[in-house]
Amino acid sequence: MEDLNYKKLVNMITEAVYKEIKPKEESSNLFSIPVEVSNHHVHLTRDSLDILYGKGYELTKLRDLSQPGEFASNERVVLVSLKMKVIEKVRILGPLREYTQAELSITDGYFLGLDLPTRISGNIKGSPPIIIIGPKGVLTLSEGAIRAARHIHMTSKDSEYYQVKNGDRVNVEVSGEHGVIYKDVVIRVSSNSKLAFHLDTDEANAGNVKETTLARIL
Amino acid sequence: MEDLNYKKLVNMITEAVYKEIKPKEESSNLFSIPVEVSNHHVHLTRDSLDILYGKGYELTKLRDLSQPGEFASNERVVLVSLKMKVIEKVRILGPLREYTQAELSITDGYFLGLDLPTRISGNIKGSPPIIIIGPKGVLTLSEGAIRAARHIHMTSKDSEYYQVKNGDRVNVEVSGEHGVIYKDVVIRVSSNSKLAFHLDTDEANAGNVKETTLARIL
């Protein structure tokens, strides 16, 4: 009888320990998420492109990006801050969007003299002003300069696999030596996605990210 | 009798769980380590300074650095890579050392076209060549361009408090939003130290490090 009770107790303990310990082990997934590095770039509305490159101008494709339908264009602009600091040759990403914004790194921010807020793409309210210059015109934005919040694009199938949901903020580790664990990585789930962890150049360089680097959600 | 055995068993379990769980809680120290950001800079030997600034030239102090005796000098140099890319106004740190090296960020490395190894200061063997130019001469180094391994300076008293030892590699988290956990941070213990976590500009910007940011060892 005593033995039986011991056994029952031990089973209860094993179960409790399993619950406590096992999820931690399972969350240490294999490194399986491709890492992509975004250099600074701009997104433009139809109206903005009209001003910068001329009425009805169409972006021409340099190369496809990983996210379906998105591309780097051959067209570039010059960015100027109100402190009269300049970054040349900033690429326009296509297709055109519902908002105009410049996505910059914190290093760019120091150079331009801007205190960049970290935002999900499209959320530019209250961000610093920036001047965008194209071959046909100048756009003076009262807001629009942000540092993009690092994020993982995934489909809902991926989100089931990784047990996360849209809008979650997770810690993400990258493979390789001298790596980094990025906190506050935003999960962005959409049907028209390809699995990819997006970092800016500061973030990638800090974590020693190479072309072969993979990431895992902790 | 049965009750007594249960009690003994429960105590054993509590002890085992304590051993397993407690160290993890204790290691999540308060954020207590100051974070300092190093911009790119050079260290020079007496011979190198003789070539760049003239025989017997003495560095003049711009400001003290946190580590006792170390200072940023008013003197600067130009760095040129074999790809003929140039970084101007790179500060010389004093005092003079037993080796000559340029400490650069990975962003600098991309700009200069150099694949920088991550090294502890002074370990430059096999690192890329770099040309250093001063007002009195040119120094063509066959090696000497590195990315400094991120590290924490501390005294042996600090190392007792944080339960680490010289040469350990630890994970370090910084306070604040959009932060980062840095892996492979080298512990550097010496009697002539002031507690400080040293990052380069890429690393600091990736982790949203501000003047008030503190770090903790995980």
Task: Collect all residues with Cβ–Cβ distance below 8 Å to B97 and sequence separation of at least 6.
Answer: B43, B44, B45, B122
Task: List CB contacts (< 8 A) between B205 and chain A.
Answer: 105-107, 110, 202, 206
Do A175 and A79 touch, CB atoms closer than 8 A? no
Complex ipTM: 0.75
- The pLDDT of residue B22 is above 80: no
pLDDT tens for B97-152 read 999 999 999 999 999 999 999 999 999 999 999 999 999 999 999 999 999 999 99
B211 and A CB contact within 8 Å: no
Please give the Cα distance from B63 to B60 (Å, whole number): 9
Contact across the interface for A181 and B181, Cβ inside 8 Å: yes
- When pLDDT is cut at 50, 70 and 90, the band that residue B16 belongs to is low
User: Among B96, B94, B121, B102, which Cα is nearest to B45's?
Assistant: B96
- When pLDDT is cut at 50, 70 and 90, the band that residue A6 belongs to is low
Q: What is the pLDDT of residue B13?
A: 63
B180 and A CB contact within 8 Å: yes
- The pLDDT of residue A165 is above 70: yes
Contact across the interface for B105 and A182, Cβ inside 8 Å: no
| DSSP-derived pairing of the beta strands A130-133 and A71-80 | antiparallel
From A214's Cα to the closest Cα of chain B, the distance in A is: 15
- When pLDDT is cut at 50, 70 and 90, the band that residue A24 belongs to is very low
From B91's Cα to the closest Cα of chain A, the distance in A is: 18
Residue type, B218: L
Please give the Cα distance from B186 to B167 (Å, whole number): 6
Task: List CB contacts (< 8 A) between A182 and chain B.
Answer: 180-181, 206
Contact across the interface for A205 and B105, Cβ inside 8 Å: yes
Q: What is the pLDDT of residue B128?
A: 98
- Tokens (6 digits) for B11: 């105590």
- When pLDDT is cut at 50, 70 and 90, the band that residue B208 belongs to is very high
Q: What is the pLDDT of residue B170?
A: 96
B206 and A CB contact within 8 Å: yes
- Tokens (6 digits) for B8: 């003994």
H/E element holding B171?
A: strand B169-174
pLDDT tens for A44-99 read 999 999 999 999 999 999 999 999 999 999 999 999 999 999 999 999 999 999 99
Q: What is the pLDDT of residue A135?
A: 98
Mutate to test the interface with B, among A4, A180, A208 (most CBs of B within 10 A): A180
B66 and A CB contact within 8 Å: no
A14 and B CB contact within 8 Å: no
From A10's Cα to the closest Cα of chain B, the distance in A is: 10
Nearest residue in chain B measured CA to CA from A202: B202
Contact across the interface for B205 and A105, Cβ inside 8 Å: yes
Please give the Cα distance from A206 to A198 (Å, whole number): 14
User: Among A157, A155, A184, which Cα is nearest to A168's?
Assistant: A184
Tokens 């954020």 sit on residue: B31
Contact across the interface for B118 and A6, Cβ inside 8 Å: no
Contact across the interface for A205 and B181, Cβ inside 8 Å: no
Quick one: three-class SS letters along chain A?
CHHHHHHHHHHHHHHHHHHHHHHHHHHCCCCCEEEEEECCEEECCHHHHHHHHCCCCCCCEEEECCCCCCEEEEEEEEEECCCCCEEEEEEEEECCCCCCEEECCHHHHHHHCCCCCEECCCCCCCCCCEEEECCCCEEEECCCEEEECCEEEECHHHHHHHCCCCCCEEEEEECCCCCEEEEEEEEEECCCCCCEEEEEHHHHHHCCCCCCCEEEEC
Tokens 């900033």 sit on residue: A90
A11 and B CB contact within 8 Å: no
CA atoms within 13 A on the CB side of A176: 19
- When pLDDT is cut at 50, 70 and 90, the band that residue A160 belongs to is very high
Contact across the interface for B205 and A5, Cβ inside 8 Å: no
Please give the average per-residue pLDDT across A37-44, as a whole number.
97
Task: List CB contacts (< 8 A) between A149 and chain B.
Answer: 178
Task: List CB contacts (< 8 A) between A178 and chain B.
Answer: 118, 149-150, 183-184
Please give the Cα distance from B171 to A180 (Å, whole number): 9
